[in-house]
Structure 1
């Protein structure tokens, strides 16, 4: 249970809230100012940053972050009364949050890298395949179908607090270009080294998929998560963000890898071979790489949200283990092969894993909405918002009703911005608790609070 934000000031206020006779003038004026109603929103253990493992390593570099106080308590909102009108609307809106130039530059470089990698796969197809080069476009199109499905699932998962599109693009491009290219080189090198040392094709076929691929591929994909955290820590705030970025990295990786596999299937079995591989890899095992890398992202995101950025980097290696194990087990059973019953069991297990993953996405979305409510509640208890507005901004039902009401008064874009930036503010508050009062992040919080006030005033101006 946290304490109300406005405790009595050194006995200067009487129990009824008025200043005692002889109290300083400041106490008298403070007693006349409206005080916000206090509501205990709780502090679930998943968001509690006060207890840290390995205190010396995870202690924040900055002092504990205190809530910034508003100049005055917000009046009852148009959301709850639909009557009050504010005459003056500030025309000096602060700049909306955007990604940095470095993010855009990274996206461009990775995009160029993907063009190079796809060009290399095309050249490899021409050199090694006896099929018409036009078939390469067929393999690329089939691989693209699976990537689009994964991206659509992730976009649905990203509706609560949407990530900037450049960052989502970087995730896909890292997986499709950097991780795929590095993994191909290293896995090929391991296979050649194994054969040169043992001369056994059987050992190569075991070590490559079961040992080398999980270690190399999950590490190369996981490094993309660290890149995103370095580029835009502001938008990497929890397990849902980690899942979103990890799944897109895995989807991008699978896109390039599937092109290579489909080309190989075309050479070995013609069009039928391509169709069989597409069903196996692009349909039945469509979420494989997305699941493996998102497991790393979930763990890193959880640690970052609870114990801060530094601990997120420290936990990276252990966070790779679940994805490596899942990847290795899948490759092991696929390598063992077997008849139709074995394949049905194998893909049935993969379908069950995919179902669990989709359910986990829904759980993490709920968890993110709960965090939004708890952290916006902190601001409501100081008077930045009313508690009715917290209910509107932090529940799906409240958001729908808020947008419906705003549409009736011609302010739906303002309401959508209000909702989006409030969710961003809640994430920033959690980051301040985990990392401490970093001056830059405190500035971001102040900017978002100014925008919150601006959005609120603009909504009220439409409501009159």
Structure 2
């Protein structure tokens, strides 16, 4: 198996999700250049921030036992918080401040771009190590999961841009992404409990349902719908 083919297999679901979200931005498309830059920030800066935070957490809050409590802390307060915060600050301090961010749906677009950048780098590393079986499995689990976390975050951050309570809605977006990310990982981390992994798929299905609803709400509320 060639490295190039593995990388393409890792990137395929990422590209599919980006194309899907771009198509759903029906009324006022975002500049592809800005979307690409946001993707790159997710692929490199977000990964860097996450890595630094992981090192810090590993020092101050080591997880060294397979207990439900420790895996709960790892899922929500280390992995979920760290990864979603690293994406959040890019949307908050880069995308949300741009003049091109001019309707609520844009929060979803840019959050997904950051998240797919992060997921692309992460997925390449996993697939290069595990091969095509890992690529196939993650194409239907981890990559869509990252997308749902992003849509949930972006929905509220899109609302925040045009609200007097920007801080509140931004933080609700971050918290929502952390909760769904933490729940998904938690059920996978406590693998020592037979059958508990089903909870991860249940949280993914719920996240997908809410994401589709969030997309529809911001589509219908677009400032450019009737222009």
Which position in structure 1 is the counterpart of 2:190? Answer: 336
Matching residue of 2:125: 260
Q: Residue 246 of structure 1 aligns with which residue? A: 111
One of 138, 151, 171 as aligned partner of 2:18: 151
Instruction: Determine if the alignment matches structure 1 residue 165 to structure 2 residue 22.
Output: no
- Deviation per residue, 1:169-213 (Å, 9 max, x gap): 122111111101210232133224434xx8x35479734443211
SS in 1 for 2:26: coil
In the TM superposition, residue 215 of structure 1 has moved relative to its aligned partner by 1.3
From 83, 90, 114, the equivalent of 1:224 is 90
User: Aligned in 2, Cα 1:333/1:193: closer, same or farther, shift over 3 Å?
Assistant: same
Corresponding residue number in structure 1 for 2:138: 281
Distance (Å, rounded) in 2 between the aligned partners of 1:181 and 1:355: 31
Deviations 1:231-277 (A, max 9, x none): x2x2223331101111111111111111222244x2xxxx4xx41x3
Alignment of 1:98-247 (within 5 A): 134-135=2-3, 137-195=4-62, 200-202=64-66, 206=71, 207-226=73-92, 227-230=94-97, 232=98, 234-247=99-112
8 A Cα contact 1:240 1:298, kept in partner: yes
Q: 1:145 to 1:193 in 2, by over 3 A?
A: same
1:292 aligns with 2:158: no
With over 3 angstroms needed to count, the CA separation of the structure-2 counterparts of 1:140 and 1:205, relative to structure 1, is farther
TM-score, with structure 2 as normaliser = 0.84
C-alpha displacement of 1:284: 2.9
Q: CA RMSD in A?
A: 2.8
Distance 1:345 1:260, change over 3 A: same
- Between the aligned partners of 2:27 and 2:192, the Cα distance in structure 1 is 43
Output the CA distance in 1 between the equivalents of 2:167 and 2:26: 27
Q: Residue 348 of structure 1: CA displacement?
A: 4.4
Which has more helix, going by share of residues?
2
Instruction: Give the structure with higher Rg (CA).
Output: 1
Q: Does 1:365 align with 2:222?
A: no
Q: Is the Cα contact below 8 Å between 1:143 and 1:258 reproduced in 2? A: yes
Matches of 1:336 and 1:286 in 2, distance apart?
Answer: 20
SS in 2 for 1:306: coil
- Asked if the contact 2:14–2:120 (Cα under 8 Å) also holds between the matched residues in 1, the reply is yes
Is the Cα contact below 8 Å between 2:44 and 2:118 reproduced in 1? yes
Q: In structure 1, what is the equivalent of residue 163 of structure 2? A: 306
Deviation at 1:313, TM superposition (A): 5.0
Q: Counterparts of 2:37 and 2:11 in 1: how far apart (Å)? A: 17
Q: Which structure carries more relative contact order (alpha carbon 8 Å, separation 6+)?
A: 2
Give the conservation status (yes or no) of the 8 Å contact 2:152–2:211. no
Gaps of 5+ in 1: 1-131, 374-393, 395-422, 424-464
Q: Which runs of 5+ in 2 are unaligned?
A: none
Query: CA deviation digits over 1:57-84, x for unaligned, max 9?
Result: xxxxxxxxxxxxxxxxxxxxxxxxxxxx
The answer to whether the 8 A contact 1:222-1:293 is kept is no
Summarize deviations over 1:350-384 as a string: whole Å, max 9, x none: 1342133123312321221xx446xxxxxxxxxxx
Which SS does the other structure have where 1:287 is aligned? helix
Map 1:408-427 → 2, pairs under 5 A: 423=227
Paired residue for 2:201? 347
Inter-CA distance 343–318: structure 2 relative to 1 (3 Å threshold): closer
1:208-230, Cα deviation, whole Å (9 max, x unpaired): 44321111111110111121122
Query: How far apart, CA to CA, are the structure 2 residues paired with 1:294 and 1:349?
Result: 14
